[in-house]
């Protein structure tokens, strides 16, 4: 496939080298079209050596072949990574004052942009308005990651990893992910529930909510109307979400259950990514419990409702329900066997399984999952795939999109 890789002038331009190398390994032709400022970060010889093609920024180069039009006409896919606030504003306005913007204006291929900039620039209303406009025109926007930026700054605005950008872009080309959920309403739970013991203490778990946030971003990028039911997620992690993702904060398991049941009637799919407490205290005290003497403390717990099973029992029409299983194995049973049993027991359409033995998932940016589904009445376990939570989320959303297509083809 003939791919144009646009590179704008940001510190993340160095990652473009990894994108070129990987695309070439996948047997794609890569034409690099940087901006003049991009060459302040990475030189043209680097791009030429990796791509095997000449590099220029000027619309007056190769005039005899009408280069500033020909590149866009011949492209089968255009990727801009990193896409700065400046380049986003230009292509939104239809400005064509260099080779990259002229290429975007002339191409009829799918266009994918991966923004990267400081948090304040990403959240600025002007940038968000440009993003919304580009999406409305069919441009595929991969939301930036949350993490370390230039200098001491940290927050939303980091360029996603090269593999995530490539997966997203190739999905945009074949139509399997971006836009695949257009017109769908997806409700996603994320984080970990907390059960109060007293005004200070609670029973909780290690879930950060990062996976659920990544799922919300992936579903949004695929065109869905998204609601995120957020159980005790750090506000800093929520900052980078697109503004039109609705956020419903909850704390306890019962509050999460109520929020999901309220949202269920109008949802096309429910994704239960939150880590839900199985038990809660029989009673919580109104004041802080005091330590008395040297005796231990005995807590009386009662079982929480099975939210996932309840949602399955109350599903609306052909509504799809996705569960998560964070499992550990023991001497008698593997983590995967426990997950498969959960899939059969819960009655969900898809179950995303990850082995959390040795703290391998909670709080980390990378994870490994397998998707369990029912195919022609038989339980099928997909191959394990590794990657960032963004990468995994794109795979899950692609599987959900395929499931919608399967349901519609059989009804």
Would you please indicate which residues are annotated as catalytic (active-site) residues? 205
* 3 state SS of 290: coil
How far apart, in whole angstroms, are the C-alpha atoms of residue 227 and residue 187? 5
How far apart, in whole angstroms, are the C-alpha atoms of residue 65 and residue 47? 21
How far apart, in whole angstroms, are the C-alpha atoms of residue 405 and residue 1? 26
How far apart, in whole angstroms, are the C-alpha atoms of residue 341 and residue 187? 25
The candidate with the shortest Cα–Cα distance to 168, out of 156, 157, 180, is 180
The candidate with the shortest Cα–Cα distance to 114, out of 92, 90, 145, is 145
In order of 102, 117, 155, 221, 369, the CA distances from 150 in angstroms are 29, 9, 11, 25, 31
How far apart, in whole angstroms, are the C-alpha atoms of residue 13 and residue 5? 11
How far apart, in whole angstroms, are the C-alpha atoms of residue 156 and residue 240? 5
Tokens of 7: 């590179």
82 preceded by cis ω (within 30°)?
Answer: yes
Q: Where are the beta strands (DSSP E) in 178-231?
A: 185-191, 195-196, 202-203, 225-231
The candidate with the shortest Cα–Cα distance to 150, out of 113, 114, 115, 116, is 116
Identify the residue whose tokens are 């023991």.
Answer: 330
| Opening angle at CA 273, ends 272 and 275, nearest 5 | 105
How far apart, in whole angstroms, are the C-alpha atoms of residue 24 and residue 5? 12
Tokens of 399: 């599987």
Tokens of 130: 């440009």
How far apart, in whole angstroms, are the C-alpha atoms of residue 30 and residue 51? 6
């Amino acid at each position: 496939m003939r791919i144009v890789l646009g590179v704008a002038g940001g510190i993340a331009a160095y990652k473009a080298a990894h994108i070129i190398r990987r695309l070439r390994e996948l047997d794609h032709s890569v034409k690099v079209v940087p901006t003049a400022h991009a060459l302040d970060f990475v030189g043209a010889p680097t791009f030429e050596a990796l791509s095997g093609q000449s590099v220029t920024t000027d619309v007056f180069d190769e005039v005899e072949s009408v280069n500033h039009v020909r590149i866009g006409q011949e492209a089968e896919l255009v990727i801009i990574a990193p896409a700065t606030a400046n380049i986003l504003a230009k292509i939104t306005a239809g400005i064509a004052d260099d080779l990259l913007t002229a290429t975007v204006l002339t191409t009829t291929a799918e266009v994918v942009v991966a923004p990267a900039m400081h948090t304040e620039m990403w959240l600025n209303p002007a940038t968000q308005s440009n993003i919304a406009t580009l999406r409305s025109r069919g441009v595929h926007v991969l939301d930036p990651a949350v993490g370390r930026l230039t200098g001491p700054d940290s927050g939303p605005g980091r360029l996603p990893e090269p593999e995530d950008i490539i997966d997203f872009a190739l999905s945009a080309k074949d139509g399997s992910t971006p836009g695949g959920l257009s017109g769908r309403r997806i409700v996603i739970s994320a984080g970990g529930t907390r059960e109060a013991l007293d005004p200070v203490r609670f029973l909780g778990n290690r879930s950060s909510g990062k996976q659920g946030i990544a799922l919300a971003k992936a579903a949004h990028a695929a065109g869905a109307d998204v609601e995120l039911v957020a159980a005790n997620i750090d506000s800093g992690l929520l900052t980078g979400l697109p503004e039109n993702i609705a956020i419903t904060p909850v704390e306890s398991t019962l509050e999460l259950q109520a929020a999901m049941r309220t949202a269920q009637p109008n949802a096309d799919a429910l994704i239960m990514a939150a880590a839900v407490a199985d038990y809660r205290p029989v009673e919580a005290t109104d004041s802080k419990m005091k330590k008395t003497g040297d005796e231990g403390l005995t807590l009386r717990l009662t079982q929480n409702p099975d939210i996932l099973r309840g949602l399955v029992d109350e599903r609306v029409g052909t509504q799809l329900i996705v569960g998560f299983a964070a499992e550990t194995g023991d001497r008698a049973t593997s983590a995967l066997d426990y997950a498969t049993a959960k899939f059969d027991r819960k009655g969900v359409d898809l179950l995303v399984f990850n082995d959390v033995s040795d703290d391998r998932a909670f709080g980390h940016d990378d994870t490994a999952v397998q998707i369990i589904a029912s195919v022609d009445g038989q339980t099928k376990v997909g191959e394990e795939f590794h990657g960032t939570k963004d990468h995994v989320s794109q795979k899950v959303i692609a599987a959900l999109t395929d499931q919608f297509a399967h349901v519609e083809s059989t009804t």
